[in-house]
Structure 1
Amino acid sequence: MEFGQAHSNFIEAHTNGRTGERRGRLLRGHNFAEKLFLQNVWWPLFESLEQLHPEYEVYDWNRKSQFLDFAFLPQNGTRFGIECDGYQSHIKDMDREKFNYALNRDTFLTGMGWKMLHFSFDDIQQRPEVCRMLLQLALAPYLARSRVAGEQLLSGEKDVLRLAWQMGRPLRPKDVTDYFEINFRTARKLLSVLSEKGLLQPVAGGRGIRSYVLRPMHQDQSW
């Protein structure tokens, strides 16, 4: 399915499922910046809008209703709040009281278990590859467990995945041996197992596999 049709279905489904102010907020609040985030950043990574909720209602410490641009609620129970921040509306026109409240709200939601992610409209529009990289870096550690289809990642495998996320380039067996001070055979075994579990993708070169990259995080039924 193309993004345009997927987005139309997405908004229609959420609109039909809401009433009152929650419905009105979706119709008023989901605008150009939010759609562009989905098109430029989210869709290229996931090719799906499942488990994503636009204009999601949350409450602050005074039980005052607020709306996040998006909430991503994967089946593993992790809660991500995603905000698309424009300079004009979020910084330039914000007085001290609103600025303080915005910071306190994010801290409160963090304390309540939310993981808050902010992306500037300029980056969404002009540098979406930066946003995709940061989004993948933020989400990958929490979603990797769901992609193993019920298998548990061993401690060493998790460490190798973290190294791959940190390096931001193809991971070589030599990188693993140097970083963890283990022998080459063990490093190759760890990389091979992660490839078999669908978390790393081998990159061929020369006479065989020379490095591995993180697989794109497309959603599947196990998420």
Structure 2
Amino acid sequence: MVFAEEHERWLTHHMDRRMGERRSRLERGHGHGERMFLERVWWPMFGQLDHLHPEYEVADWRGRPYFVDFVWKPGEVKYAIEVKGYGPHVQDMDRVRYRQELNREIYLQIAGYRVVSIAYDDLESNSALLMTLLKSLFMPHLAISRPGVDGGYTRLELDILQLAIRTDGYIRPVDLVRGLGVDARTVNKCMKSLCQKGKFKPLATKGNYKVHRYEYIPSFTDTRLW
């Protein structure tokens, strides 16, 4: 799937799940710089937008809502990614706003986020350098997102397997949609793939053929998935 198609599907998915100010903020905040970051840096690295949340709402140290350009949650780790242009972030910023922004970044790290600031100018002139730096930062996740590694599992398939290992072995698609932040179509595609690989068995609702949950099939090699 090409970037434009996937970006539209991904953005529509997040838009449909929001209401009020959260939806309005996504409409206003996801602009040219954010899209350029996805197209020139993120997409060439990952080839997908799973686990990436645009205009993600968090509370600052005062309890006030604040929207991060992107939050990436590939597993237990959380990254807060900000695309910063010279004008709005430096040139026109007074000292109070500047201090608030620095304090907000510190608070995000206290809240468990790893903060990544992206310079808009580098997106235009030096996106290759950004990819090199981010690949080093994200290497633990990139290493297991490529097909053919760890038995051919994708990053999302590994997340589902790890979740099954930590729970009672039964997985419902609706829980994966809510817990992993991906849409139902992606979940169904991954579960079909995992069933073909012999890792899950679909369990249909009694009286019809609709699959309502999956049973995890363990093996001794799964210890390397932790």
- TM-score (normalised: structure 2): 0.65
TM-aligned CA deviation for residue 10 of structure 1:
0.9
| 2:55 aligned partner, one-letter code | E
1:136 counterpart residue number? 135
TM-aligned CA deviation for residue 221 of structure 1:
2.4
1:37 counterpart residue number? 37
| 1:116 aligned partner, one-letter code | V
* Residues 30 and 55, structure 1, Cα contact 8 Å, conserved in 2: yes
Instruction: Summarize the Cα distance change of 1:26–1:110 in structure 2 as closer, same or farther, 3 Å threshold.
Output: same
Instruction: Summarize the Cα distance change of 1:9–1:197 in structure 2 as closer, same or farther, 3 Å threshold.
Output: closer
User: Which structure is richer in relative contact order (CA contacts within 8 A, separation 6 or more)?
Assistant: 1
| 2:60 aligned partner, one-letter code | D
1:92 counterpart residue number? 91
* Residues 53 and 70, structure 1, Cα contact 8 Å, conserved in 2: yes
* 2-structure distance, mates of 1:131, 1:196: 25
* 2-structure distance, mates of 1:42, 1:144: 11
| 2:61 aligned partner, one-letter code | W
1:73 counterpart residue number? 73
| 1:221 aligned partner, one-letter code | E
Q: Which SS does the other structure have where 2:63 is aligned? A: coil
1:121 counterpart residue number? 120
Q: Which SS does the other structure have where 1:118 is aligned? A: strand
1:222 counterpart residue number? 158
- TM-score (normalised: structure 1): 0.66
* Residues 52 and 73, structure 1, Cα contact 8 Å, conserved in 2: yes
Q: How many residues align?
A: 157
| 2:23 aligned partner, one-letter code | R
* Residues 68 and 80, structure 2, Cα contact 8 Å, conserved in 1: yes
* 2-structure distance, mates of 1:82, 1:88: 18
| 1:13 aligned partner, one-letter code | H
Structure 1 runs not aligned, ≥5 long: 150-194, 199-217
CA RMSD of aligned residues (A): 2.2
| 1:110 aligned partner, one-letter code | Q
* 2-structure distance, mates of 1:44, 1:101: 33
| 1:118 aligned partner, one-letter code | S
* 1-structure distance, mates of 2:20, 2:124: 32
* Residues 46 and 142, structure 2, Cα contact 8 Å, conserved in 1: no
* 2-structure distance, mates of 1:19, 1:89: 27
TM-aligned CA deviation for residue 145 of structure 1:
7.8
Q: Which SS does the other structure have where 1:55 is aligned? A: strand
Instruction: Summarize the Cα distance change of 1:144–1:48 in structure 2 as closer, same or farther, 3 Å threshold.
Output: closer
The CA deviation string for residues 2-32 of structure 1, in whole angstroms up to 9 with x for no partner, is 0000011011111001000000000000000
* 2-structure distance, mates of 1:99, 1:129: 28
* Residues 144 and 150, structure 2, Cα contact 8 Å, conserved in 1: no
